[in-house]
């Protein structure tokens, strides 16, 4: 969600379901609180796996016309792992100002505790108008395309885990 309206909302609840997955990834719930425009934290609850884990996101360096953003955070390990925590750092940059194209690539590194190793991660966000966007996520092992529609404080999404297994997501800010 973009724009000044999001400044009035501090809480975000999200739910994601994906077919043909291990229990931890089939049904995911998140609740986060925005402490500052650059800091969010909360928890993830996976009811089928009976697992709760912390999530947090810090925009350490904001993006400018010339400089990419640096974002660090933590969440559960990648979709295909039955357990574990991931710690990541990414740089991202909108290319619209330089190219006129609505693309924003990102690249980074994620350390996952399940496999006890670091992976290169990356992706590309493509904006299509004010409400639609698509992200191609590479989690260091697999690619997962996502399509999102935002409307006010609501966001609806479709994910294709490994490009094959469909899933849906919904989040609301309040």
3-state secondary structure the chain: CCCHHHHHCCEEEEEEEECCCCHHHHEEEEEEEEEECCEEEEEEEECCCCEEEEEEEEEEECCCCCCCEEEEEEEECCCCCCCCEEEEEEEECCCHHHHCCCEEEEEEEEEECCCCEEEEEEEEEEEECCCEEEEEEECCCCEEEEEEEEECCEEEEEEEECCCEEEEEEEEEC
Distance from C-alpha of 4 to C-alpha of 129, rounded to nearest angstrom:
17
Range of the domain at 142: 4-173
Gyration radius from the chain CA atoms:
16
Phi, psi of 81 (to 5 degrees): -100, 140
Distance from C-alpha of 70 to C-alpha of 53, rounded to nearest angstrom:
23
Residue 131, domain CATH:
2.40.160.40
The reported pLDDT for the residue numbered 2 is 44
- pLDDT tens-digit series, residues 111-133: 999 999 999 999 999 999 999 99
- pLDDT tens-digit series, residues 131-163: 999 999 999 999 999 999 999 999 999 999 998
Record the pTM: 0.90
The reported pLDDT for the residue numbered 8 is 85
The reported pLDDT for the residue numbered 3 is 47
Tell me how many domains the chain contains: 1
- pLDDT tens-digit series, residues 25-61: 999 999 999 999 999 999 999 999 999 999 999 999 9
Structure tokens at 146: 């996502």
């Amino acid at each position: 969600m973009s724009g000044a309206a999001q400044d009035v909302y501090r809480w975000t609840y999200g739910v994601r379901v994906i077919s043909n997955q291990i229990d931890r990834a089939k049904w995911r719930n998140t609740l986060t609180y925005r402490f500052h425009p650059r800091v969010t934290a909360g928890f993830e609850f996976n009811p089928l796996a009976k697992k709760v884990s912390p999530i947090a996101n810090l925009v350490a360096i904001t993006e400018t016309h010339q400089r990419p953003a640096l974002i660090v955070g933590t969440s559960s390990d990648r979709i295909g792992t039955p357990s574990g925590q991931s710690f990541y750092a990414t740089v991202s940059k909108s290319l619209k100002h330089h190219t006129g194209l609505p693309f924003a690539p990102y690249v980074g590194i994620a350390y996952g505790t399940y496999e006890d190793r670091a992976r290169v991660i990356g992706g590309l966000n493509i904006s299509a108008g004010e409400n639609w966007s698509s992200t191609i996520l590479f989690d260091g092992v697999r690619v997962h395309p996502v399509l999102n529609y935002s409307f006010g404080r609501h966001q609806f999404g479709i994910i294709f885990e490994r490009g094959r297994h469909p899933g849906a997501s919904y989040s609301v800010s309040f």
